[in-house]
Amino acid sequence: MIGYYIPGDSFIHRAPAGFKLFFLAAMGLASFSLDIGVYFGIFMILAVLMCWIVGLDWRTLKRILKPVALVLLAIFLAHLFVGDFFSAIAAVIRILTVILFATLVTVSTHMDDMIEVFKLVARPLEPFGVKPRKLAFLLSLTIRLIPAIFEILAEVREAQKSRGLERSVFAVIVPFMVRALKKADALGDALTSRRFEES
Amino acid sequence: MKVQFNNVSLSFGGVTALHQIDLSLSEPRIAVIGDNGSGKSTLARLVNGLLLPDEGHVTVDGLDTRTEAPEVRRRVGFLFQNPDNQIIMPTVSEDVAFGLKNKRISSEEVADRVDEVLKRFNLFSLRNRSAHLLSGGEKQLLALAGVMVMSPALLVLDEPTTLLDRRNARIVTQMILDLDVNIILVTHHVELLEEFERVIVLEDGRVVCDGPCADTVAFYMENCT
């Protein structure tokens, strides 16, 4: 879902992109430096409330969290193994909170606005030969492509499941890599034919 | 607008995709038909320099695609088979504006031209929608709008209706036929070609028939399918 845009007119949609990115960075930093009680009490409620305000419903949220559920489980088990139950819960909530805030920013911000912010940030690099617009666009494109990559992975897994190969890592990874590379190739052609080189 | 293929050959990994092609294309509506692997898409991609020939030259209004590709692409728009590969920005209006913003024209002019094109392709009411949540037909119209907003003199279309159902294929085809630009259409759908002045049939990387629609389609139906 990261990379999709949900149209709306909420105050989160209207907030400047730079402020939202700063807010995301601040929340990320706070999530990893504050006490667990604060998460449950404030951050988690804030994240869920903001999800509701931008129009993210429960079904959509489930779709967002499904691909990362296994990663969260692995993190939980790893922390359980080296620490205790509460540190494992804290680690999962930290990551979950940041994922929710990151999703909020991307679904409520036009990519053009995000590009403008990245351009401003990259401007000091201009004397070193960096083109701020190109760099900003590539950063934004990376965010945009995350759902496309997840879609490819889901399609490959579904196809291999129908052949009874869902447990074979090799059977999923190889076609996934081939399709992801083909997608990158096609995107390169599209950028060329839409004259990105002139920017 | 004249596209010239001079003794053009191209191979991929030892397999010849096109073999010594000589063509002069200047008719307003030209179609290229042929079976899978006959070289149709390769020929289309050579026109705007997405591919370069191993041998020979491709020129557009006298501009060589090898040495003057950016200038060629200003004249030639390209529509891909799969709109998901062509749509770059997340929302409908942002995607149509993408090419214009690369030209660095004023934001007011960008907005005006985007609105005008969105209305023309019946996409104005969807302008703030997420591009990847559109239907297949709407996506292909969006991809077409993103090309046409750049005002190309020639539009190359690589099987634009192949992934669409019959209804959407008809809508997209009608939009294409209503365009006021020269067209080179690569397709399997011979029933769409009635209004085309010239049809070229490719087989195994060679031109096997070239002429008016009725004759070439009849040849294709008889010999190539």
Residue given tokens 């070289």 in the structure block: B39
| Average pLDDT, integer, range B178-187 | 93
**Chain B residues whose beta carbon lies within 8 Å of the beta carbon of residue A141:** 88
Q: Is the pLDDT of residue A148 over 80?
A: no
A28/chain B closest Cα distance in angstroms: 25
Find the closest chain B residue to A134 by CA distance.
Answer: B102
| Average of per-residue pLDDT across A4-18 | 88
Name the band, by pLDDT with cuts 50, 70 and 90, for residue B30. very high
**How near does any CA of chain B get to the CA of A140, in Å?**
9
- For A190, the closest of B86, B94, B132 (CB atoms) is B86
Q: A117 lies in a domain?
A: no
Whether B212 has its CB under 8 Å from any CB of chain A: the answer is no
d(CA B70, CA A191): 12
Cα B188 to chain centroid distance, Å, stands at: 14
Residue A160 binned pLDDT confidence (cut-offs 50, 70, 90): confident
Mean pLDDT along residues A113-127: 87
**What's the pLDDT tens digit per position in B110-121?**
999 999 999 999
Q: At what angle do helices A58-82 and A85-107 cross, to 10 degrees?
A: 150
With tokens 């019959």, the residue in question is B166
Do A100 and A139 share a domain, yes or no? no
Residue B52: what pLDDT? Answer: 94
Domain co-membership, A146 together with A98: no
A36: closest CA of chain B, how far (Å): 36
Domain that holds residue A186: 131-199
Backbone angles phi, psi at A123, to 5 degrees: -55, -40
The pLDDT value recorded for residue A1 is 45
Mutate to test the interface with B, among A192, A193, A197 (most CBs of B within 10 A): A193
Domain count, chain A: 2
Checking if the pLDDT of B18 tops 60, the result is yes
Separation CA B171–CA B136 (nearest Å): 11
Q: In the prediction, which pLDDT does A40 show?
A: 65
pLDDT score recorded for residue A153: 85
Average pLDDT, chain A: 84
- A136 in the same domain as A103: no
Partner residue opposite B98 with nearest CB, options A4, A7, A194: A194
Please, are residues B92 and B140 in contact by the beta-carbon 8 Å criterion?
no
Helix and strand tally (H, E) in chain B?
A: 7, 10
The pLDDT value given to residue A3: 57
A10 with A66, same domain? yes
Q: What are phi and psi of B150, to 5 degrees?
A: -85, 0
What is the ipTM for the molecules in this complex?
Answer: 0.80
Position B27 pLDDT exceeds 60? yes
What is the structure's pLDDT at B172?
87
Percent of chain B with pLDDT over 70: 100
Residues A14 and A53 in one domain: yes
Average pLDDT of the residues of chain B? 90
Predicted structure pTM score: 0.79
Query: B150 vs A195: CB contact, 8 Å cut-off?
Result: yes
A91/A167 same-domain check: no
A62/chain B closest Cα distance in angstroms:
18
Q: Which of A3-7, A96-100, B77-81, B216-220 comes out lowest in average pLDDT? A: A3-7
Question: What integer pLDDT is reported at residue B192 of this predicted model?
Answer: 81
User: For B44-62, what is each residue's pLDDT tens digit?
Assistant: 999 999 999 999 999 999 9
* Residues A5 and A79 grouped into a single domain: yes
Cβ contacts of A7 on chain B, cutoff 8 Å: 91, 128-130
Q: List pLDDT tens digits, range B84-112.
A: 888 888 889 989 998 888 777 888 999 99
Q: Inter-chain contact A195–B85, Cβ cutoff 8 Å?
A: no
Residues A57 and A18 in one domain: yes
Structure confidence by residue, pLDDT tens digits, A22-45: 998 888 888 777 766 666 668 878
Q: Which of B98, B101, B154 best tests the A interface by mutation, with the highest count of A CBs <10 A?
A: B98
> Per the domain annotation, does A85 fall within a domain?
yes
3-state secondary structure of A32: coil
Whether residues A104 and A151 share a domain: the answer is: no
State how far residue A160 is from chain B, nearest Cα, in angstroms. 23
Residues A33, A75, single domain; the answer is yes
